[in-house]
Amino acid sequence: MRRISIFGSTGSIGCNTVDLVQRSPEEYSVVALTGGRNVAKLAEQAKALGAEIAVTAFEECGDALKDALAGTGIETAAGEAAVVAAAERPVDWVMSAIVGAAGLPPGLKALEHGGTLALANKESLVTAGPLLLETAEAHGARVLPVDSEHSAVFQGLVGEDIDAVERVIITASGGAFRDWPIERLKEATVAQASSHPNWAMGQRITIDSASLFNKALELIETHQFFGVDPERIEALIHPESLIHAMVGFRDGALMAHVGPPDMRHAIGYALHWPERRDLPVARLDFAEIGSMTFQAPDEARYPALALAREVMRQGGLTGAAFNAAKEAALDGFIGGRIGFLDMAGVVADVIEKMSGEGLGKAAITLDSVRHTDQMARRWADEFIEERQR
| Binding residues vs ligand NAD (CB under 6 A) | 8-14, 35-36, 57, 83, 97-99, 102, 120-123, 147, 199, 201-202, 204-205, 263
User: Is residue 123 a contact point for Mg ion (CB under 5 A)?
Assistant: no
Task: Kindly state the smallest distance separating residue 70's Cβ from ligand NAD, in Å.
Answer: 21
Nearer to Mg ion, 34 or 148 (CB): 148
Nearer to ligand NAD, 53 or 99 (CB): 99
Nearer to ligand NAD, 47 or 353 (CB): 47
Contacted by 238, from Mg ion, ligand NAD, none: CB < 5 to 8 Å by type: none
User: Is residue 208 a contact point for Mg ion (CB under 5 A)?
Assistant: no
Nearer to Mg ion, 223 or 377 (CB): 223
Give the binding-site size for Mg ion (rule: CB under 5 A).
3
Task: Kindly state the smallest distance separating residue 386's Cβ from ligand NAD, in Å.
Answer: 26
Nearer to Mg ion, 123 or 149 (CB): 149
User: Is residue 221 a contact point for Mg ion (CB under 5 A)?
Assistant: no
Task: Kindly state the smallest distance separating residue 17's Cβ from ligand NAD, in Å.
Answer: 9
What part of residues 140-169 is at the interface with Mg ion (CB under 5 A)?
147-149
| 8 Å CB contact between 88 and 108 | no
For residue 264, how many other CB atoms are within 10 A of its CB? 18
User: Is residue 349 a contact point for Mg ion (CB under 5 A)?
Assistant: no
Listed ranges 2-10, 139-147, 181-189, 270-278: which one lies at the site for Mg ion (CB under 5 A): 139-147
User: Which residues contact residue 285 at a Cβ distance below 8 angstroms, ignoring those fewer than 6 apart?
Assistant: none
Task: Kindly state the smallest distance separating residue 106's Cβ from ligand NAD, in Å.
Answer: 8
DSSP 3-state percent helix, strand, coil across the chain (nearest 5): 50, 15, 35
Strands 142-145 and 93-96 come out as unpaired
Nearer to ligand NAD, 35 or 239 (CB): 35
How many degrees, rounded to 5, is the angle at CA 127 between CA 126 and CA 131?
100
Query: How far apart are the C-alpha atoms of 41 and 20, rounded to whole Å?
Result: 17
The secondary structure element, H or E, covering residue 141 is: none
**Can you say whether the dihedral through the CA atoms of 182, 302, 213, 177 is positive or negative?**
positive
Contacted by 221, from ligand NAD, Mg ion, none: CB < 5 to 8 Å by type: none
**Can you say whether the dihedral through the CA atoms of 374, 141, 144, 359 is positive or negative?**
positive
Report phi then psi at 295, rounded to 5: -150, 145
Task: Kindly state the smallest distance separating residue 13's Cβ from ligand NAD, in Å.
Answer: 4
| 8 Å CB contact between 34 and 279 | no
Give me the residue whose beta carbon is nearest to Mg ion: 147
Nearer to Mg ion, 16 or 148 (CB): 148
Alpha helices for the chain (secondary structure H): 12-23, 39-49, 62-68, 80-86, 104-111, 122-138, 148-156, 190-193, 203-211, 213-226, 264-272, 286-289, 303-314, 318-334, 342-355, 366-388
Task: Kindly state the smallest distance separating residue 164's Cβ from ligand NAD, in Å.
Answer: 27
The number of residues making up the chain comes to 389
**Interface residues toward Mg ion, by CB under 5 A:** 147-149
